[in-house]
Copies of this chain bind each other. A is one copy, B any other.
Amino acid sequence: MDEAAGSGGFHSERRGVEQALVDQCSSTAYSLAKSTFAAAKSLGISIVGVDGGFANVINVGGVRIAITSDGIGTKAEVAERVGKYDTLGFDLVAMVADDLVAVGAEPFALSNVIDADRLDVAVVEAMMRGLASAASASGLVVTGGEIAALGRRVGGHGLGAHVNWCATALGLIPEGREAISGQSVRAGDVVVALQNEGLRSNGLTLARSILETAFGTSWHEAPNAGRAWGERLLTPSVVYAPAVCELLRSGVPIHGVAHVTGGGIPANLGRILVGRGVGAVLDGLFPPDAWVAELARLGSVSPFEAYGQWNMGNGMLLVLPGCDADRAVSALASARVASRVAGNIVQGGEIAVDARAWGMGVVRYRVE
């Protein structure tokens, strides 16, 4: 439901209504999905997954496999505008692999579906080349997939071929490792933020809408500090999974992982805090990219709304015991991911984002 969260134009009132719709669709879908959970018992298969988790976990004959699906949403339109399709694979791998590692699973396989209005070999080649690079670099096998030519059921920008792209990925929870659910998160834990450049694959609808209002229909060509806005928005996602897998293997106890996707920090950190009587004070986050801050300014997006839509420079949050924080930060650095202690878990039911250092004040959310 990531893109859905950002599909509303600027008016927070309208977005409130849309968020309610998103939530209603999600919960309807999930409660019907849950009605199937007894189905596979005859094969000795059971669902271990937790409600609200970033991925579900299935026990298949003693092997625990995590599974998740996601897509790149409307980021495909940015690729169509810029005419560059070979970075989208990094977004697709990041969306699914980082949801898997958020439950403590090591991603190992991915199957993808490309929906196109019409087939264009060069576009498919560029997409799959990027996907293969991103997957190989992250330890995933691309098992295959489906390319469907759907005619006018798929649309987009310009006269070229248009594509929607999603994937389902699998991860393995190694023997002896507990799945991460946030259950062991407690007041006093620290929050380590993993740095991110760009929007990953979330909140693109809002971003595009702002830029179109500001610069007109060819907004992607408008300049921003020496680059075009199209390029900015196309910034490929970092895949955190390999670095976090190394951390998990090193034995650092990770109590909770929030992959900061649609709904930003409050929605995704909230998922692992809710119902535990805790909140967070985040006073050491990475600042947003200059161009993301500029985007918020252009669209008169309040800090409250910005942190509720975009990752704002922090693509993943790890919750772990304070005594392990330094070890975690240096292990992540060895894996070439910049991170820092960004705050603490506290008693109560509030997430406070201290963004005063970059002029956005202190933003407060209820954990829910």
A246 to B: closest C-beta gap in Å: 11
CB distance B147 to A25 under 8 Å?
A: yes
Once the chains bind, are B7 and A143 in contact (CB under 8 Å)?
A: no
Q: Determine whether A87 belongs to the interface, using a CB cutoff of 8 Å to chain B.
A: no
CB-based contact B33/A119 at 8 Å: no
User: Cβ of A139 and Cβ of B71 under 8 Å apart?
Assistant: no
Known: A32-B142, A43-B172, A152-B156. 20 other contacts (CB 8 A): A3-B150, A4-B148, A22-B119, A25-B119, A25-B121, A29-B124, A29-B147, A32-B131, A33-B142, A39-B135, A40-B109, A40-B140, A40-B141, A49-B143, A56-B111, A60-B65, A63-B63, A68-B144, A73-B148, A153-B156
Contacts of A260 in B (CB 8 A): none
22 residue pairs of the A-B complex, CB under 8 angstroms, read A3-B149, A7-B149, A21-B119, A22-B119, A22-B149, A26-B147, A30-B144, A32-B129, A33-B132, A43-B108, A45-B108, A45-B172, A67-B144, A68-B144, A69-B144, A70-B146, A71-B115, A73-B150, A111-B168, A113-B168, A115-B166, A153-B162
- Least CB separation from A174: chain B residue: B43
CB contacts under 8 Å to B, within A272-302, are none
Take A144-B30, A144-B69, A145-B69 as given contacts and tell me if A151 and B74 are in contact as well, using a CB distance cutoff of 8 Å: yes
Interface residue from B4, B42, B156, B172 paired with A60 (Cβ < 8 Å): B172
Say yes or no: A56 contacts B149, CB within 8 Å: no
Residues on A close to B: CB < 8 A? Answer: 1-4, 7, 18, 21-22, 24-26, 28-30, 32-33, 35-40, 42-43, 45, 47, 49, 56, 58, 60-63, 65, 67-71, 73-74, 76-77, 106, 108-109, 111-115, 119, 121, 124-125, 128-129, 131-132, 135-136, 138-156, 162, 164, 166-168, 170, 172, 174, 205
